[in-house]
Amino acid sequence: MSEKNENQPSGRRSFFRLLTAGGAGFVLSPIVASAPVEAAENLPPVKPATNIQDALKFPRNSNSMPGLFPGVVMQVNHTGCIKDKVIQQKAVDQMLTAAMLNLTGKKSVKKAWRKFVSPDDIIGLKVNPVAGKLLTTSHELVKAVIAQLEMSGIPRKNIVIWDRREMELHETGFLPENYPGITITGTEQKDAKGSFFDSNGKLYGEGMIDKDWSYWADVEGAYDEYTMPYMVNGGKHSYFTKICTKQVTKIINLPILKNAGGSITLCLKNLAYGAISNTGRLHEKLWHDSVAEVCAFPPLRDKVVLNIVDGLVGCYNGGPAANPQFICQYNLLLAGTDAVAVDRVGLNIVSQKRIDMKLQKEESAAASMFLKRAEELGLGIGDNKRINLKTIDLA
């Protein structure tokens, strides 16, 4: 994909903006056109244009989201998965096995996993270490996934643990000594001396982004010199990491069950904001849209074959950072090929917890806006009524 003009919204997007600016009534009613100026000033702000149309031009394939089981979500609960605040590896192994067998309808772990991956694949495990040691994707889940991939004939050399920031992976224990034979990498990198820059003064992260794949949005990213290493580039393009575009052939998404304000940061957010550069500019005006739209680009849409949410320990407020008073034991895993459906179920769980804790009375309408956008883009099913949730209780 070539780089796009910095100022080129598509025709369809412009039409969409017109609709959202005034709602359907703006288009249909001539009375609104002569409304006072004050009323026009109070219209919702126009959303910045993006290049989502470019993503939709690429034909789908058999791996494309929502994958093999649209709308199906497995929720595996285990009351004994954490004892004395220590996650129990054996329990997590059982939970993962139950999720995989019930999701696929297969009788063996190997057959279940081979529906999604083969020994020829390079498999990226997208973890989430951004909140630090307190609230990272648990090593117990990652090790359970690796063990079952190996049981399914996938060599360790074909497994890559990745996230946006390599240093956060290291800080949270994703180190070669803990995962021998497995590649551990991130887009933003530091060298042994702690520098983001190579001997030529170039960011290591620059070498990790693929300028052939870009999420363009009409929002300028402008960063100071301290921030740039964490963003890799400024401007209006967010480039996809080469980890997604070149290094791996399949992605298994391993987010944590966390809130983001009254919403969540789960499957789609873990993928979208983990796979591109220059994200800082997107939070204010395009959070919901970008979380969905980035996942509609082929490097994610056509490679993410499975989502397994680590809900052993999670949080219900203070996310995506880790605020200890809001960290809780959900004692569960969610699994499915449909990231949108899994996110919907995750939002139900987090919202209910927030209601139980009297943080809010009901789920806000805004909390699921990114799910609606993802559904519009054909990435999955975000409507509770159309989701087939299967619950398994282990003890």
Q: Which residues bind to other proteins, rule: CB under 8 A?
A: 38, 41-42, 44-45, 85, 130-131, 134, 223-224, 226-227, 229-231, 260-263, 265, 273, 279-280, 283-284, 317-321, 323-327, 354, 357, 359-362, 364-366
Check residue 156 and report its DSSP letter.
G
Instruction: Return the closest-CA partner of residue 14 out of 32, 27, 30, 29.
Output: 27
Nearer CB in complex with other proteins: 25/45 = 45
Sign of the dihedral through C-alpha 70, 71, 77, 83:
positive
Nearer CB in complex with other proteins: 355/394 = 355
Nearer CB in complex with other proteins: 73/374 = 374
Nearer CB in complex with other proteins: 8/227 = 227
How far is Cα 181 from Cα 77, in angstroms, rounded to an integer? Answer: 31
CB of 350 to other proteins, least distance (A): 12
Contact between 215 and 244 (Cβ < 8 Å)? no
Contact between 381 and 339 (Cβ < 8 Å)? no
How far is Cα 130 from Cα 99, in angstroms, rounded to an integer? Answer: 26
CB of 87 to other proteins, least distance (A): 16
Nearer CB in complex with other proteins: 31/37 = 37
Which residues lie across from 82 on neighbouring strands? Answer: 87
Residue 39, CB-side half-sphere exposure with 13 Å CA sphere: 8
Instruction: Return the closest-CA partner of residue 340 out of 309, 298, 299.
Output: 309
CB of 130 to other proteins, least distance (A): 5
CB of 364 to other proteins, least distance (A): 6
CB of 108 to other proteins, least distance (A): 39
Rounded to 10 degrees, the C-alpha dihedral 23/25/31/37 comes to: -10
Q: What is the maximum alpha-carbon separation in the chain?
A: 69
Residue 199 CB contacts under 8 Å (≥ 6 apart), including other chains:
none
CB of 228 to other proteins, least distance (A): 9
Hunting for tokens 């060599």 — which residue is that?
155
CB of 285 to other proteins, least distance (A): 11
Task: State how far the alpha carbon of 144 is from the alpha carbons of 25, 80, 88, 216, in Å.
Answer: 53, 16, 11, 37
Please give the structure tokens belonging to residue 299: 């490097």
Nearer CB in complex with other proteins: 152/368 = 368
Instruction: Return the closest-CA partner of residue 332 out of 317, 348, 356.
Output: 348
Instruction: Return the closest-CA partner of residue 62 out of 343, 308, 250.
Output: 250
Nearer CB in complex with other proteins: 59/324 = 324
334: helix, coil or strand? strand
Nearer CB in complex with other proteins: 345/350 = 350
CB of 230 to other proteins, least distance (A): 4
Check residue 379 and report its DSSP letter.
S
Nearer CB in complex with other proteins: 254/264 = 264
CB of 340 to other proteins, least distance (A): 20
Sign of the dihedral through C-alpha 33, 38, 44, 48:
positive
CB of 234 to other proteins, least distance (A): 11
How far is Cα 379 from Cα 126, in angstroms, rounded to an integer? Answer: 18
Nearer CB in complex with other proteins: 63/136 = 136
